């Protein structure tokens, strides 16, 4: 499960440093290239709850195999894509494969380890692997792009995904649902949930482009609002909604997921700010940029090892508040380095703060988001949490980086604007986390 999580997490960030090479290979500009990143992230995040529901209805192992196979085939297609349009299609399919596979994988872990210290340790490993995959995506991308070519950033994961498929067949117990008529899937809800953030991101990006038609941005933002309202309406009327009303009865889970959106937006913004500062401001090459990010990955492993012990001692809410505070401090450090135009070594303190903020914040929020789950709703709870993480990251990048680096704001320091916007979101997240009810203490007994 963690190997699958690692390579899916790598694919979230691995294209960032490779984007200039992809653009040169297909002769497309930077504005068009953004969809290689955003298309994958938003599609994956928007369909995650559908993936979670599929696991609950059809069986987690069956859905795990389906999603992993789709993700592997799409990775192969991306690496071999002869045109840019086909590459974008492959990235969309990768997002769909992730959305199907990851909730089933996380639900398997949640149900295997009961609430208490055992689940804390399991989720800490899961989160650490995901975080390292996100960070190491930058490192390996620079090395692979420089020595093998950008296509291999997609192809390198294919043999490992075959290992995941084989291991899942041999090691994961079959959990076929009971025979009978299965309730219909809420496909309309899934499509609306995907369209809402996708249109929102399109509107924000186009709003900052001076040459874009004036109607595109407001029309896209209006479409995002309409899709969001349509999602609420469809869910209220659906006999088997994608997001059951009972999910909102648990205040801890709801506030944990909303806080995840805000924290993930800040964390994802910081990754791109590091890359832009190193490559665009300082002129560091792909390999140098990747290696400069290495302290972030190493420190993340260290902090992730401390989280289980401190989570059991402090509680999940305290760890979440610490993670948000450390991330906000990292934003201040990024703004200071940018203002002083310091060298790349000056970014290392900000990277250390980000790694600590990610380790404490995400693990604590994952624990709160799956509190009290049962075999019937483990998949949907896992899917909602992952969707909040991924859609929050994509939306945060669109708002903070999209607005901060918009050509229309060229008179302002883009790093300062982006960090201020991210800090405002983190402040809202801290207030929300502060009012999150603490989960009821449970014994270390099996839940499934």
Residue labelled with tokens 């929020």: 365
Give 198-248 pLDDT, tens digit per residue. Answer: 888 778 777 766 666 778 888 989 999 999 899 888 888 887 787 777 777
Tokens representing 276?
């832009």
Domain count along the chain: 1
Contacts for 343-351: CB closer than 8 Å, 24+ residues apart: 343/282, 344/277, 344/278, 344/282, 344/284, 344/288, 344/292, 347/274, 347/277, 347/278, 347/292, 348/295, 350/270, 350/274, 351/274, 351/293, 351/295, 351/296, 351/299
Residue 212: what pLDDT? 67
* Domain-located, residue 445: no
Residue ranges, the chain, pLDDT below 70:
29-32, 34, 135, 176-184, 208-212, 375-379, 407-410, 437-448
Alpha-carbon span 328 to 317, nearest angstrom: 17
* Domain-located, residue 198: no
Tokens representing 263?
């924290």
> Of 266, 356, 267, 268, which Cα lies nearest the Cα of 307?
356
Q: Which domain holds residue 265?
A: 2-186+238-434
Domain holding 362: CATH number?
A: 1.20.1250.20
* Domain-located, residue 228: no
Residue 353: what pLDDT? 95
Residue 30: what pLDDT? 59
Give 133-176 pLDDT, tens digit per residue. Answer: 876 777 788 888 888 888 999 999 899 999 999 998 888 887 76
Give 359-368 pLDDT, tens digit per residue. Answer: 899 888 988 8
* Domain-located, residue 15: yes
198's CB contacts (< 8 A; 6+ apart) are 38, 39, 42, 43, 46, 224
* Domain-located, residue 18: yes
Q: Are 100 and 185 in contact (CB under 8 A)?
A: no
Alpha-carbon span 389 to 340, nearest angstrom: 32
* Domain-located, residue 146: yes
* Domain-located, residue 441: no
* Domain-located, residue 341: yes
Residue 438: what pLDDT? 64
């Amino acid at each position: 499960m963690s190997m699958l999580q690692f390579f899916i997490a790598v694919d979230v960030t691995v294209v960032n440093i490779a984007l200039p090479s992809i653009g040169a290979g297909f002769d497309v500009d930077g504005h068009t290239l953004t969809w290689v990143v955003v298309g994958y992230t938003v599609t994956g995040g928007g369909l995650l709850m559908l993936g979670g529901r599929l696991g609950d209805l059809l069986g987690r192992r069956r859905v795990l195999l389906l999603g992993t196979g789709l993700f592997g085939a799409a990775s192969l297609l991306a690496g071999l894509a002869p045109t840019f349009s086909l590459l974008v299609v492959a990235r969309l399919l990768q997002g769909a494969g992730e959305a199907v596979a990851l909730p089933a994988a996380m639900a398997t872990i949640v149900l295997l380890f009961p609430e208490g210290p055992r689940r804390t340790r399991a989720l800490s490993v899961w989160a650490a692997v995901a975080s390292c995959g996100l960070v190491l995506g930058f490192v390996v991308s620079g090395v692979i792009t420089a020595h093998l070519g950008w296509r291999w950033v997609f192809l390198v994961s294919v043999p490992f995904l075959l290992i995941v498929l084989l291991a899942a067949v041999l090691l994961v117990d079959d959990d076929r649902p009971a025979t009978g008529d299965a309730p219909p899937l809420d496909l309309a809800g899934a499509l609306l949930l995907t369209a809402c953030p996708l249109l929102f991101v399109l509107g924000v990006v186009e709003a900052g482009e001076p040459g874009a038609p004036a109607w595109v941005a407001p029309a896209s933002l209006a479409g995002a609002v309409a899709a969001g309202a349509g999602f609420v309406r469809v869910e209220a009327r659906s006999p088997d909604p994608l997001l059951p009303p009972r999910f909102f009865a648990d205040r801890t889970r709801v506030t944990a997921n909303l806080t995840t959106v805000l924290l993930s937006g800040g964390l994802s913004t910081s990754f791109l700010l590091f890359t832009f500062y190193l490559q665009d401001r300082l002129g560091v090459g792909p390999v140098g940029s990747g290696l400069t990010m290495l302290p972030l990955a190493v420190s993340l492993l260290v902090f992730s090892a401390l989280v289980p012990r401190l989570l059991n001692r402090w509680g999940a809410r305290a760890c979440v508040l610490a993670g948000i505070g450390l991330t906000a401090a990292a934003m201040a450090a990024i703004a200071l380095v940018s203002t002083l135009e310091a060298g790349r070594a000056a970014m290392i303190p900000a990277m250390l703060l980000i790694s600590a903020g990610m380790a404490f914040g995400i693990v604590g929020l994952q624990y709160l988001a799956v509190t009290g789950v049962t075999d019937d709703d483990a998949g949907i709870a896992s899917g909602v949490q992952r969707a909040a993480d991924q859609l929050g990251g994509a939306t945060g990048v669109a708002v903070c980086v999209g607005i901060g680096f918009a050509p229309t704001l060229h008179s302002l320091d883009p790093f300062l604007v982006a960090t201020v916007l991210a800090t405002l979101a983190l402040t809202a997240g801290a207030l929300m986390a502060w009012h999150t009810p603490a989960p009821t203490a449970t014994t270390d007994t099996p839940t499934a």
